[in-house]
Structure formats: structure tokens, C-alpha cells
Amino acid sequence: MQRIGILGGTFNPIHKGHIQLGKAAYEQFHLDKILVLPNKLPAYKELDELLDTTYRSQMVKLAIKEYPYMEFSDIELKRAGATYTIDTLRSLKKLYPDDTLFFILGGDSLVYLHKWREYKEILKLAKILCAKRAEADLPRLQEIQKQLLQEVPEAAIFFLDTPMIPISSTELREKLYQDRSVLKWLPEGVWDYIRSRNLYKGLSDTEKEAE
């Protein structure tokens, strides 16, 4: 039986915060591998500024190539329509029926998990590994953890011990639009790939503001 981590996102672009999250989950919960899944059409985000899946997939592959336990997965890219976590988990459970799934997410996502499609089923299909936000927010996250466990007693929600990198993909896109260096927040291969293809240029103000 394997312990399989699931790290999904638009990865627009993938950055060191995403990698740090995966590393912490792998090390602290003794995972066998982590599937890194770019979204195709995320259901809860604006899509105007979303790069084509080819670019985002290649950036993910470049970002994780130094980590043999991280494995690129196109399972969400193959699915038609919007991306919903519950559909992904059901598909993965069919592929790995005897393994334990660990869904890795950030503190912001845990706050809104109750709004996700069939969130109770999500909690039944996978253990949740959540990155803490600022220490001041930990009590709130613990309260949300308590509420979710009351709703789904068989759920398992754990917090990762990892420092937060103070950057988001939205902020990175804005800096790239302004032609500012973001190498300190990006894996080197990703930074080179973005520069060589002149990505994230010419975004409108509206697109820059989208998450």
C-alpha cells in the first residue's frame, strides 16, 4: 500500500511555494510519491489570464524534475469541462484502490473547502494536509478543522509545518508584466522557460487583478 500525495493547482506559474508545500508533505507524512496535477479549467477561478495547458504543464515538469518523488499527472487535463476536486479524487481512487490518498492544500483553500462541490465526499476519499498560513490565522484554521471533523467524523485533517513563502502566482504575473525579476520565487528552469518564450506579457489590468 502506498501513501500518495496529490498537489493540484493552476500553476500559473508554478513557484517555490508550491514545491515547498510538496516537500513538506512528503517529508512529514512519509509519502511514497506526490502527483502534481495542473488544472485545465478550474471551476472557481477567472480564466482570462490562464496560460495554455502546454506551457503550464512544461513549467510543472521543469519545477519538479529534481524531486524523484514528484510525478507529473495530466489526469485533470484529459477531462472535459471544469475541474472539480471530487471528480479527480474519484478517478484516482479507481487507479489506486488500495492506496491512501493525501490531498495537499493551502490554508486559504481549507477556509473555503465547505463551498467545494461534494466537499464531504472529498473528506472521505482523501486525508487533508493543510499548510498553515500566518501563525495568527492558525486558531481559525483549527476551528474550521474542528467543524469539518464534526460534519465528517471519519475525515482526517492535518497541518503541515512549513514556513509560508510571501508570494502568489497573481503577484508573480504582475511582476512579470512589469518586467521585474522573479527568479528568487521561481525554480530556475521555470524562470528560464518563461523568459525564453516571453510569457505573461501584455496582460490587461483586469487580467493582472485575477487570481
The answer to whether residue 187 sits within a structural domain is no
Q: 72-123: per-residue pLDDT in tens?
A: 999 999 988 888 999 999 999 999 999 999 999 988 899 999 999 999 999 9
The answer to whether residue 114 sits within a structural domain is yes
Find cell 486558531 and name the residue.
139
The answer to whether residue 26 sits within a structural domain is yes
The answer to whether residue 211 sits within a structural domain is no
pLDDT for residue 194? 94
Average pLDDT of the chain is 89
Q: CATH no. for residue 125?
A: 3.40.50.620
> What is the domain range of residue 135?
3-164
Say how far residue 60 (Cα) sits from the centre of its chain: 11
pLDDT for residue 48? 61
Give me the number of domains the chain comprises: 1
The answer to whether residue 171 sits within a structural domain is no
Q: 54-64: per-residue pLDDT in tens?
A: 999 999 999 99
The answer to whether residue 62 sits within a structural domain is yes
Q: 42-55: per-residue pLDDT in tens?
A: 766 655 678 999 99
Q: What is the mean pLDDT of residues 174-189?
A: 90
